Amino acid sequence: MFDSNNKQLTFIIYDGITNSVFESQVLSPLLKLIEESPNIEVTLISFEKKRPSNQVLTARIPAHDRLHLVLCRRLPFFGKWSLLFAVYQLKKFLNKFPSNQIIARGPLAGYVALTALNRLANKYPERLRATSEIKFPDVTIQARGLCAQEHRYTTGSSPTLINSFIINSLKKIEFTVYRNKRTSDYPNHVTIEAVSPALREYLVETFRADPTKIIIATRDLPKTVPVLQIAQWRTEVRQELGIAQDAIVYCYSGSFKAWQCAKETIAAFAFEYTRDNKCFMLVLTQDQKPFIDELARLKIPLTNYKVMTVCPAGLYRYLAAGDYGMLLRERDIINWASRPTKMLEYQAVGLKIIHNNTIAWLAK
């Protein structure tokens, strides 16, 4: 299974491989890393509520002789005690298969990783830990969002007692993982990888993170599509969808969830349509019906929009047909500190982004 001559990297996720951003934000960067580094071997450890079927596993993760998948059991979250079974599983794995480097995605995975490693470290006398006789891996904790704030946002302004408990528990875990004392306790180097300068600021101010240990993530940024390729796709897709070559095309990629301001996005396009009845709305989504219903409610003609589902591999090709990418959000810290995937996708094909100054990356 493992080649002892290769550098061993263990990548830990706690939200499962069926998460919507798994392919773009986890798998693609890992495959890119393997391609660029012939002497690295990656083990992806995923904590799952329910084991995915073999069909899902095959569809989500390609076979590769230097990419290994380990599935572990995830218990329903109810405070840090519910993470201890994950700690036990990870400690058992690392005791058998030591790593040179560990990357943990998010504070829950970070808590599991640091706790398991500290328990392993405590097995050895201090004399051994202080020498080169015992090797401990460097750890990178990927800060991709704010768990407690996201739970607060999704549960509304008046959460139940259970939700209040979960929010407070998540805050404590985030503080435990990101605070400077915890990262200094670990025998080896710990780095926090934030997705935006605004998130770095928040981690320092709220969780007492050491700013010298925080870097801004770049490996998972998509490559910019060459200009000639964009021009070719623009012509092809507009012909395919019956869009006039001189029409202004507004793109939206995402779901109809309230936090993505889908209704507000369609309303913004409807306003543009009153000023230019040649403009066109291209929606790339899994939620086709609610978008079609909303466009019909606002009396947008069928000739001025297309709502469709495309595979991830074809997303950039269709976005290239546009002029603007629409990215509206509510004013909230989770949006201000974020680096939305759709923003990166829009930028990769040169779309100008229409936004409402609620994301620091765009507003600044």
Please report the DSSP string for 140-194 in residue order: EEEE-S-HHHHHHHHH-SS--HHHHHHHHHHHHHHHHHHSHHHHHHSSS-EEEEE
**pLDDT over 80 (residue 208):** yes
Q: 283 pLDDT exceeds 90?
A: yes
User: Mean of the pLDDT values across residues 59-74?
Assistant: 92
Q: What residue spans in the chain does CATH classification 3.40.50.2000 cover?
A: 7-216, 227-363
Residue positions counted in the chain: 364
Q: Is the pLDDT of residue 279 over 60?
A: yes
Please give the pLDDT value at position 83: 96
Long-range contacts of 267-276 (CB under 8 A, 24+ apart): 267/298, 268/326, 268/328, 268/354, 269/300, 269/305, 269/326, 270/298, 270/300, 272/248, 273/300, 273/304, 276/248
Distance of CA 303 to the CA centre of its chain: 35
What average pLDDT does the segment 346-361 reach? 96
Per-residue pLDDT, averaged over 91-98, amounts to 91
In one letter, which amino acid is 192? I
What class, spelled out in words, does domain 7-216 have in CATH?
alpha beta
* CA–CA separation, 8 and 43 (whole Å): 8
- CA dist 321 and 329 (Å) reads 23
State the average pLDDT for the chain.
Answer: 90
Q: What is the pLDDT of residues 245-278, one digit of tens each?
A: 999 999 999 999 888 899 999 999 999 999 999 9
Residue 359 has what DSSP assignment?
Answer: S
CATH assignment of 227-363, given 3.40.109.10, 2.60.40.10, 3.40.50.2300, 3.40.50.2000? 3.40.50.2000
Cα dihedral 350, 355, 360, 363 in deg (nearest 10) = 80
pTM of the model: 0.86
Residue 134 has pLDDT above 80, yes or no: no
Section 80-109 average pLDDT: 94
User: Tens digits of per-residue pLDDT, 16-48?
Assistant: 898 878 888 888 889 989 999 999 999 999 999
> Residue 193 above 50 pLDDT?
yes
Segment 215-238 mean pLDDT: 93
Report pLDDT for 8.
Answer: 92
Residue with tokens 């509304």: 156
Query: What backbone phi and psi angles, to 5 degrees, belong to 305?
Result: -155, 160
Q: Is the pLDDT of residue 109 over 70?
A: yes
**Do 223 and 257 meet the contact criterion of CB atoms below 8 Å apart?**
no
* Crossing angle for the helix pair 84-96 and 106-121, to the nearest 10 degrees: 60
